[in-house]
Structures are given as C-alpha cells and as structure tokens.
Amino acid sequence: MATQALLLVNLGSPASTEVADVRRYLNQFLMDPHVVDLPWPLRRLLVSLILVRRPAQSAHAYASIWWPEGSPLIALSRQLQEAVAPHWTQGPVELAMRYGEPSIERALLRLAGQGITRVTFAPLYPQFADSTTTTAIEEARRVIAAHRLDLQLSVLQPFYDEPEYLEALVESARPYLEEGFDHLLLSFHGLPERHLHKRDPRGDHCLKGADCCQRAEGDVLASCYRAQCFRSAEGFAERAGLRPEQWSMAFQSRLGRAKWIEPYTEARLDALAQQGVRKLLVMCPAFVADCIETLEEIGERGREQFIAAGGEDLQLVPCLNGHPDWVRALVTLCRRAPVQL
C-alpha cells in the first residue's frame, strides 16, 4: 500500500497566556474572512477595535484553564495524535492548527519533505461551517499552490451524523449519564445567522420558521450548520436513550452585536435553573477536544451563572479528547475520506 499520511487539524490556541501572544492569535483568527465576513477595510477596523481590550480579557480566561504543559487544546490534540498513530498504518500522523502553531503550512511542508504525496486531511469539526471546515481546507490549498507541492488530499467530511461519531459520544458520556442528572444541555458553538443565509442553496430555508433546521434535508442539510447540530443532538439523544424532556440544545460563544443562531446557552442556563433543574450536565458536541470554550466558558463561567440563577451543580462532560471509542471512530472515518485535491 502506498504511503498516505494523516493530518489532524483543529482550530488553534495562543502560544501562551501573555497578552501579546493572545493578541497575535486573535488577530490571525479574526482577520480570516471566513470568520469575520466583512470587506477587508471594515474587517480591519472592527478587529483593531476588538484588539484594544479583548486580548487582556481573553488572556485572563486562558490563564484560568492553562495546563503546565501549555494549552489544553494543543495538549489534548497531541494525545489524540499519539493515540491514533498506531491505528493509522498507512503512514505518519501529523497535527496542525488553523491558527497559531503547529501550523498547517509547516505540517504540509514537513510531509512533502519526507516524500509524502498523499495526505488524508482531517478537519476535526463534526458540523460544517465556513469558519471552521472551509477555512482549514482553503489554507491547505493555498499552501499547496504557493509552494507547488506534489500533494493529493483526501478530505474528511463533516461527520455530524456518522454512527461512529455518535456512538463514541454516547460512550464518552455514559459514566456521567449513569450518575443521574436533572437535565442535559447540549451546547454547540454559535454562528452569526448571516453565515447560514450565505450558505443556503435555496435562498429561503432560513425564512421558513424556527423549526426549519430540524426538518432540513438534502442540499440544505449538507451546508446548514444549525441543521447539522440538530442531527447530532437528536442522534446522540436517541442512542443514549434520553426522553425529549431530559435534554435540550443551545448555542454558545457569541461575539459582537450581530444576530447569532438561537437559542443562546446563557439564556438556557438561566431558564433551566428557574425551571427547577438542580443538577445540570452540559456537553459540547461541536468540539472534539476540550478548550477555552468548554473549560472556561462552560466549566467556569457557565457553572457560576447557573448556580447564581438558582441551580445547585453544573457538571461539564468532557469532550471526546482521547477516548478509545473516538480514536477508533476517527480512524474509520478518515479511511473513508474522499479525494478532493
């Protein structure tokens, strides 16, 4: 069998919790037109304004969850890389981040330098979005073109409803579900609504009412992040044997004043506490590795908010991280990845 490398790709992290490193990371992240989809002059102005205060605030948040070995996201991704490597017998397994280090550019150049010509490129995002999946793939294409690399990519597709992913989610959460809980909240990363509208192939999907994403099929489902989140949530709940009243879903991590997809996680936390939920479990199925959005936003600030609103305990269910079922599932999914470039 010809050698085929596997490149695992996640979002990224600042190099440290120093304000300068956080500012550098946020600038790269927010200046990506797939993330802040404004014309360059407006994007530059907006990001410059954000970078006045945001880096110091974010640096404080990162410091609260930073590990001795560095960024939790990077450390957990390294662990996943090491766990996957023995199962990926076709070739080497590398790790890259879309923003920060290790970069996609350096990883692809390293593989090409080893004489590798075939790479399975694996964006570790279960649900499709331009701000995650598309930007990672476009960066790989840019690098290949800029350096004239002889690389053929097989690209892992969004796996939001793949049985292997959903079953790994259930197995990773099973110990927490079996301990008993009042309610489970599935909190996905949010997106500005305009990102959905831009990707709507029919032009009217998002105008059909609040439940349109739950009924999406075909080409709409293939490009609608919110619809894919619903499929992930429903698929998980069904496999976990949860009754409808035992769980709900919401969207977190809003930034700026744009209209973001609803319901908002912050609002759900208050509402659940006011409805009498005392022990709340929260899972974040849009992330496969714990990071600032899970550990700090939910595990720290979310818990404080829920308890202040009348709840007694919020327990964050860890992401898939290096769970053995996830390692096996990821290898299986990557082996099925179709050739795209």
147 is in an annotated binding site: no
Q: What's the rounded Cα separation, in Å, for the pair 312 and 273?
A: 8
Burial of 284 (0-12, 13-18, 19+ CB in 10 A): buried
How many residues are present in the chain? 341
- How many other C-beta atoms lie within 10 A of the C-beta of residue 16? 16
Sheet holding 247-252, edge to edge: 247-252, 183-189, 279-283, 313-316
Task: For residue 245, give the DSSP letter.
Answer: G
- How many other C-beta atoms lie within 10 A of the C-beta of residue 92? 16
Span between the terminal Cα atoms of the chain, in Å: 20
Q: What's the rounded Cα separation, in Å, for the pair 120 and 124?
A: 12
Q: Are 263 and 276 in contact (CB under 8 A)?
A: no
One-letter amino acid at 291 equals C
Residue 130 is encoded by which pair of tokens?
């331009």
Residue 169 is encoded by which pair of tokens?
């989610």
94 is in an annotated binding site: no
Q: What's the rounded Cα separation, in Å, for the pair 269 and 213?
A: 22
Q: What's the rounded Cα separation, in Å, for the pair 310 and 244?
A: 23
Which residues are known binding-site members for Fe(2+)?
189, 293
Which residues are known binding-site members?
189, 293
